[in-house]
Amino acid sequence: MQQPWSLSSSSSSGPHGDILGPDLPDIWTPIATPPPLPPLNQDSSTKLTPTIIDGKSIAEEIRAGISEEVRQMKDAIKKVPGLAVVLVGQRMDSKNYVEYKTKACQEVGIESLLAEFSEDCPEEDIVNAVTELNRDPSVHGILVQLPLPKHMDEERILSAVSVEKDVDGFHPSNVGNLAVRGREPLFVPCAAKACIELLIRSGVELRGSNVAVVGRSKVVGLPTSLLLQRHHATVSNVHAFTRNPGDITCQADIVISAAGVPNLVRRSWLKRGSIVIDFGTNRVEDTDSELGYCVTGDVCYEEALQVVSAITPVPGGAGPVTIAMLLSNTLESAKRTYGFN
Ligand SMILES: Nc1nc(=O)c2c([nH]1)NC[C@@H]1CN(c3ccc(C(=O)N[C@@H](CCC(=O)O)C(=O)O)cc3)C=[N+]21
């Protein structure tokens, strides 16, 4: 007889039956032009002057440190760190991000290598290329630019990257070790590291603070939630299925947004005096701009400025620091390989 608690084995899901829950995509409902808000009734004596967290110059500082370490390594052992980027398909945004990454490598003296594949190439070719890069001693970091074309098995390709070269920190073993206190992942995802770096450099106390993370992606939301917990923050993670996410975010001391939806985070979602880190990099049509688009975050920036105590702008906030962390992971990997300290 079927026990009420026994797992159904008839479902199409794997060996765990339904226990892992269905894999549903996070689809947020975007608001193109947010309706205007009534003016805030705060008198000028209580008016906040928010700090604009300058990610661009923080990233420059971090790169300067990395540059120096790369030079020392080169002088001492005649080796430099190497990063391989795997790019599949022709997405313009991906091509741009990869370009930022290779340019940043060049700036600090990290060797970079680009492996490009067409959208319709066999998945096998990518797995084989990754396997070769795993064996290449001049490569210390391998990054598979996401998203991959829909028809490809992302998990298979990401799992092919050697744990020792997984500078994105997306390998199951690195994600798993990040999730459990006391375990040490070889690499922590760049965005999560960038988030902590931005907050600590801004003098924010994480221990015991209430943080709301908007989004649960592998690249930003999930690893950032995990890393914040390791810093003893109380983390609430809201996502596309959360009812009234604003009711949760408006209680947070710190809001981290990584939903990929312009204007998602409104003034009403934010507590007065809160701190906002915006990982959104959304391209929105802008006929006034030469490119025909402009880049905006997930947060209604002008609205947020009326209530927050500190915020990262987009561009020039979390993005450049995330890229600096990729360089840092690549350097750490090379140092580990050569036992160089
Ligand atoms: N395997 C993998 N690893 C990643 O780290 C990864 C990825 N796939 N896929 C896509 C996302 C996105 N991402 C960005 C990093 C920096 C900026 C950045 O520096 N943006 C600039 C300018 C933005 C612009 O003008 O386009 C800024 O915010 O100032 C943007 C986006 C990394 N990602």
The angle subtended at Cα 187 by Cα 320 and Cα 141, nearest 5°, is 75
Residue 4 has pLDDT above 70, yes or no: no
- In the chain the domains, ranked by start, together with CATH numbers, are 77-187+322-334 (3.40.50.10860), 188-319 (3.40.50.720)
Task: Determine the Cα–Cα distance for residues 256 and 212; give it in Å rounded to an integer.
Answer: 6
Residue type, 214: V
Reported as a single tens digit per residue, the pLDDT across 319-330 is 999 999 999 999
3-state secondary structure of 254: strand
Residue 98 has pLDDT above 60, yes or no: yes
Task: Determine the Cα–Cα distance for residues 162 and 45; give it in Å rounded to an integer.
Answer: 56
Residue carrying the six token digits 């690195």:
174
Residue 99 has pLDDT above 80, yes or no: yes
Tell me the CB-side half-sphere exposure of residue 269, using CA atoms within 13 A: 25
Mean pLDDT along residues 1-24: 71
Mean pLDDT along residues 188-192: 98
Token reading at 36? 């205007």
3-state secondary structure of 59: helix
Residue carrying the six token digits 């109380």:
234
Question: Ligand 1 centroid vs 17 CA: distance in angstroms?
Answer: 36
- This complex has an ipTM of 0.97
Residue type, 244: N
Confidence of residue 8 (pLDDT cuts 50, 70, 90): very low
Protein residues with CB under 6 Å of any ligand 1 atom: 96-97, 100, 143-146, 168, 190, 219, 281, 295, 314-316, 319-320, 322-323
Reported as a single tens digit per residue, the pLDDT across 274-292 is 999 999 999 999 999 998 9
Ligand 1 atom closest to 320 (CA): 19
Task: Determine the Cα–Cα distance for residues 183 and 177; give it in Å rounded to an integer.
Answer: 5
Active-site choice (101, 165, 193, 271): 101
